[in-house]
Each structure stands twice: as structure tokens, then as C-alpha cells.
Structure 1
Amino acid sequence: MLKTVASSTINATTTLITCPNVNLHCSSYPLSGPFLNRFTKSTKQTLRPLRTLSKPFATTTMNILNKLGFGSPRAQQSSADASIAQGPDDDVPAPGQEFAQFGAGCFWGVELAFQRVAGVKKTEVGYTQGFLHNPSYEDVCSGTTNHSEVVRVHYDPKECSFDTLLDVFWARHDPTTLNRQGNDVGTQYRSGIYFYTPEQENAAKESLERQQKLLNRKIVTEILPAKKFYRAEEYHQQYLEKGGRFGFKQSSSKGCNDPIRCYG
């Protein structure tokens, strides 16, 4: 429900969001069979400003506001912005480490899955593949910048193969739903593998072919060169390990196989 403060018209600076029974929900999916590991929580409250709303509800609201003309003004791209944003990821990993980028829906749960992998030294969540330079979460959720929510993995190839990371990627989400994972809908939630080397590209394509033979529906995962990575706002980083909205901390210990509960 949209409610304005001291005004009968929608005002982008004064709009509050109230939700009597929001199902705060971000699903994780196995490779096949019924979707598992769902965590839901109903609550009755006035939510915080859009930057800290639960992701599914915030995304839907922002898309509605954008269609009404209240979307992020920064989402209006320029050719200079597009050129920078579409350039390669020119960051340099630590000595002895390599980068990998994966998009598999809401990046909170995906990041925790990779945090638990032996040989992964660091993870970051962020935005890539879009046309806007230095996008914010609000920009990405406007649905106009074409960014994907991704996890950039820093890993030691001597301790963790790229194929191992691919296995985690496929197991974490449903790669057959276009621009959607559960209640999270939008291009930012698309399935993607973004490679840094020809070896990663070949491994990704071969892995996709193997997965396709296991599924009854067509995989829609995109496999593209890694482009400039924009680190997401700090509150998104290691979100579930830090406890998320409700303070329910989840283990990032290597080898931990506790179910990942993804919540706003």
C-alpha cells in the first residue's frame, strides 16, 4: 500500500511504504526436484526507507514508482556512462588468486554459498553488465539500467577449481527461469556466468551442456565476458553472515552445509 504524508498525491520524497502482511522471502533452489530451503516470515510493521526494504518488496515498489515517473533520475544513461560500465573488469585480484562472477538471483544467499567453499578467499556482492556508471541499489531496482546482481568470488585455483564454483552456482538457483528467482522478479535477478579467461568461458559452456542434459526445461543462463564490477552498498556485503534484517546470523564456515535462509 502506498501512503503519502500530508499530501493526496504521490510525492517521491515523502512516500512511505506500509505493508500489513508482507511475506519477506528470498528462495533458494536445488538443481532438480521441489524447490527447497525456503524461509518466510510474515510481519506487521511500517518498513524502513526503500534502501533498506526487503529486496522482493523493494524491487516491486521501485518498479511501480519508476513506471509512474518516480524512478531514479540517475538511471538516465549517457554514452560516457555506458562506455565505462560496459568496459572489462579491470580490478586486479590478490597474488595467486583469480576472479569469478556469478549472477543467480538475490545475491545475499548466493554470496553465503560461495563463502562456505574451501579455497574461496573473499566474496563481494555488486552490480555488473549494465549501462550506468556507479549505480546504486535504487538505480538497479528501477529496472532501467540492465545490471545484474552478482557475487564476485576471489579464489585460489590451487585450492578450488572453477568447476567447483560452477557446481555451487548450479545448485544454488533455478537456471531455467528468465529474469526470476522465486518472488524476486526483474532483469537484475537473471542467471549468468561472467568469465575472465577463455578457460573459464569454455568450462562454463561445457558445464551448461552437462546441466542441460539433466533438466527437462531449457536453461536460460547467459555466459558473457566479465564487465566492470560495481561493489554494492556496504550493508549488502556478507548480509546473511551478519544476520540480515532480523539479526539471525548464519555460518560462513568452510564446509558448512546448514540450510541457507535468505531473508530481508
Structure 2
Amino acid sequence: MLLIRTTSPLATSLPLLTLASCHFPLPNRLFSPKPAPAFPQTARPLSLYSPPKMNWLGKLGFGTRTPTDSPLDQSSSIAQGPDDDVPAPGQQFAEFGAGCFWGVELAFQRVPGVSRTEVGYTQGYLHNPSYNDVCSGTTNHNEVVRVQYDPKECSYQSLLDVFWARHDPTTLNRQGGDVGTQYRSGIYFYTPEQEEAALESKERQQELLNRNIVTEILPAKKFYRAEEYHQQYLAKGGRFGFRQSADKGCNDPIRCYG
């Protein structure tokens, strides 16, 4: 008599699904494939932006949306409109995207003549996005720093110099270990003079690097201020309470994650 021995699929080795630093066993072929999203998703390595961190922040009410805040209820025309905020009298705005906005903001905080910095989201299609929305890779928003400065004490060119020095403008949608469209290199201008200066600065930088620069130069659009815990994050101590100096002219190395 021929005996046939069968083995249950669950008795075999199970694949591992990796989420940040945690591993969860899942049976093979347990779930059917999901359809591709409307926009490409972006890979994201282990960092302070990992899902475990956002879980506990979400419990505190950060980076979350209310059930009524459906993207279908929002008008992309608002998000794609100009930044209609007004700087303080005698001041001007400048706006830059250069990767994770924590370290970029601290760099601009240290510039003499800069009176205010804010981190936020811009250039996307969704009105009033949360941090989770931006990190989903589906809204086209960029993490940016909006700088308010006194043109009598600080030239726009000096801000451009800080921008180029702070990141690698030749890597598309990536700065170091941070990967995604929200980390793209961008200069967002408020005046024709800023646009001209940005384009000329990009040409000079292109000659210096001798590599293709992927920095986008576009008009400033609606600016959405990021959640309060993101504001001046490194100067306030970051995740571990290690405050980094925002004093004018400070040259201390910036530790991006505090």
C-alpha cells in the first residue's frame, strides 16, 4: 500500500514581516494582494519617524486627523493656492525644503537677521494635512522651513548659502536615511527677485558640484504649520532632551535627531 504523508502549510517556516525593528510572523498566502495605491509609496528606514513613535504620538493627539477630515471634503485648490500669510512689518519670507525639517530649521535659527522660523508642509494637494498624511507619500507635500528675516540684516543669498550647505541637492527624494517625496530638495520663492536669485544660485552650485542638481524651484504655495511638537524641535531638546544651541552664529554640529 502506498502511503502519502501531507504536511500542513502552517507547520512550515513562516515568513517574517518587518515593521521598523519589530518582527511579526504571518502565515504564507494569508492575505490577498492589495491594489497599488494612487501614488507611489516611499520606503522609510528606522528613525524617529517610525510607526511605533507615531503610534504613541497619535495617542496624544499629534499628527492625526478627525473622522470628518476626509480628503474628499477638502479642496486641492486651497492647498495649491499661494501662501497668503503676511510677514511682520519690514520682514520677508523665504521657504526651503532640504530633508528632515528639524535640522534644517535649527540651521536657519542660527542665522543673524532671521527673526522667526516655522516648520510645515507645502506644495501638496491635500488641505490641512497632518504629519501622518504627509508621511503616507500620497499628498505630494514637502517638509519645509519657512524663514522670516530682516533683509537689512540678512540677505536672501545668505539664506541660499545655508540651504545648499545643509543638504545634498543631487539625491532625488532622499536625504541620508530619510527617503520619500516629503524630503525632496526645494526652493519656494515669494518674489520675482527671489526666483531669479534662486535660479542663479542653482547654476553656480551645479558648476561647483559637477553633478545633476534635482532641486525644484517653484512659487511658494499654501503653508501648513506642522504640529507643535515639531516646532524648534532640536532647540527644545529633541526626543532625549539634549538641547542644541540656536544662538546666532553658533557653529556647533547639528545632530538631526537630538
TM-score by length of 1: 0.74
Deviation at 1:149, TM superposition (A): 0.2
- Runs of 4+ with >3 A deviation: 1-5, 7-10, 22-26, 46-53, 72-80
Contact 1:75 1:132 in 2 (8 A): no
Residues 199 and 49 of structure 1, relative CA distance in 2, 3 Å threshold: closer
2:185 to 188, 191, 199: 191
Match of 2:4 in 1: none
Q: Size of the alignment, in residue pairs?
A: 215
Deviation at 1:48, TM superposition (A): 3.7
Kindly indicate whether residue 63 of structure 2 is the aligned counterpart of residue 92 of structure 1: no
Match of 2:226 in 1: 232
Match of 1:114 in 2: 108
Match of 1:172 in 2: 166
Match of 1:134 in 2: 128
2:137 to 137, 143, 146: 143
Kindly indicate whether residue 55 of structure 2 is the aligned counterpart of residue 50 of structure 1: yes
Q: What do the CA deviations read for 1:150-182 (whole angstroms, capped 9, x no partner)?
A: 000000000000000000000000000000001
Q: What do the CA deviations read for 1:180-221 (whole angstroms, capped 9, x no partner)?
A: 001100000000000000000000000000000001310000
Flag the structure with larger Rg: 2
Distance 1:117 1:216 in 2: 28
Match of 1:208 in 2: 202
Which residue identity lines up with residue 50 of structure 1 in the other structure? N
CA RMSD of aligned residues (A): 3.0
Structure 2 counterparts to residues 55-66 of structure 1, below 5 A: none
Corresponding residue SS for 1:203 = helix
Distance 1:147 1:153 in 2: 18
Q: What do the CA deviations read for 1:59-104 (whole angstroms, capped 9, x no partner)?
A: xxxxxxxxxxxxx999974495210000000000000000000000
Distance 1:158 1:150 in 2: 24
Match of 2:244 in 1: 250
Question: Any stretches of 5+ residues in structure 1 without a counterpart?
Answer: 11-21, 27-45, 54-71
Question: Any stretches of 5+ residues in structure 2 without a counterpart?
Answer: 1-17, 32-44, 59-65
Residues 197 and 79 of structure 1, relative CA distance in 2, 3 Å threshold: farther
Distance 1:222 1:83 in 2: 21
Kindly indicate whether residue 187 of structure 2 is the aligned counterpart of residue 182 of structure 1: no
Contact 2:74 2:126 in 1 (8 A): no
Contact 1:105 1:180 in 2 (8 A): yes
Deviation at 1:240, TM superposition (A): 0.3
Distance 1:104 1:190 in 2: 6
1:161 to 145, 151, 155: 155
Distance 1:145 1:24 in 2: 21
TM-score by length of 2: 0.76
Task: Give % identity.
Answer: 75
